[in-house]
Amino acid sequence: MTDFYIYENWTRKRGAIHYADCSYCNSGKGFQIEDSGRNGKWHGPYSLEEAFCRAATMLNIEPCKSCKPLPPA
């Protein structure tokens, strides 16, 4: 099953939903060392449905423009 992660950025009050294998996600490890815990937090892994469901409870979470996860039908 494909896993999804949500990155929540506290300082910018926004975030994105990613496929686990997205290069920006790296299975929830992210791509910038300075991002590890200070500016935000990775949530997951989730199923597609759960990722979008949880994203709806956070501020300004959008599907990643790189890996483009689609909302569940």
Which listed range, 6-14, 23-31, 40-48, 49-57, lies at the site for Zn ion (CB under 5 A)?
A: 23-31
Q: Does 2 bind Zn ion (CB under 5 A)?
A: no
Q: Does 66 bind Zn ion (CB under 5 A)?
A: yes
Q: Are 56 and 6 in contact (CB under 8 A)?
A: no
Q: Which residues in 28-57 contact Zn ion (CB under 5 A)?
A: none
Q: Does 18 bind Zn ion (CB under 5 A)?
A: yes
The closest of 16, 2, 19, 4 to 58, measured between CA atoms, is 16
Distance of CA 52 to the CA centre of its chain: 10
Question: CB within 8 A of 36, min separation 6: which ones?
Answer: 29, 30
Among residues 24, 41, 54, 58, the one that binds Zn ion under rule CB under 5 A: 24
- Residues near Zn ion (CB under 5 A) are 18, 22, 24, 64, 66-67
